[in-house]
Amino acid sequence: MGLGSDMYRQQILDHYKNPRNYGELEDPDFTHVGENPSCGDTIKLEVELDDEGETIETVSFTGDGCAISMASASMLSDQLHGMTVEELDSLDTDDITEMLGVDISPMRIKCAVLGRQVAQDGAKIHRGELDPDATRTQE
């Protein structure tokens, strides 16, 4: 398994050094900022939905954090294209660790899932299901 995990480590490093979909959108349907309080990583995710408001058309993110949180946000931003909001809601921690392809220590799991959490919370706020003030978010 050594070779496989090296390949995934290279992929994580590549996404960290050359993040995909990094930047800001002109007219996002929703924007959400989330922070991992245990390490200070911050991710801002912007999403444009299709005309029906069900499918994710464009995703961008900005942020500041460790290699795992930034690479995970970059990889996730690629995966979210074409996904429905319902599919986004059903993503769990296993989906993220599978996407990353390496074992993530319990200490780093919050880093790995930060992007997913921000995307899911942003979608819930957009639908009026979550009070923006109830989350640990500053915009």
pLDDT exceeds 50 at position 1: no
pTM summary value: 0.90
Q: What is the average per-residue pLDDT within 69-85? A: 97
Alpha carbon distance 35, 44 (integer Å): 9
Predicted pLDDT at 133: 79
Q: Percentage of the chain with pLDDT > 90?
A: 83
How far is it, in rounded angstroms, from Cα 63 to Cα 138?
Answer: 13
> What's the mean pLDDT in 116-123?
97
pLDDT at site 134: 67
Delimit the domains of the chain by residue range.
2-134
Query: pLDDT digit string (tens) for 120-132?
Result: 999 999 999 998 8
- For the segment 13-18, the average pLDDT, to the nearest whole number, is 96
Looking only at the bridges linking them, the beta strands covering 30-35 and 56-64 are unpaired
Specify whether the CB–CB gap between 22 and 60 falls below 8 A: yes
- CA 41: distance to chain centroid? 12
Q: 3-state class of 30 per DSSP? A: strand
Angle between helices 93-100 and 109-126 (to 10 degrees): 130
CB atoms near residue 76 (< 10 Å):
30
End-to-end CA distance of the chain: 42
| The pLDDT value given to residue 91 | 98
Chain mean pLDDT for the chain: 92
- State the Cα–Cα distance between residues 38 and 68, nearest whole angstrom: 14
The CATH code of domain 2-134 reads: 3.90.1010.10
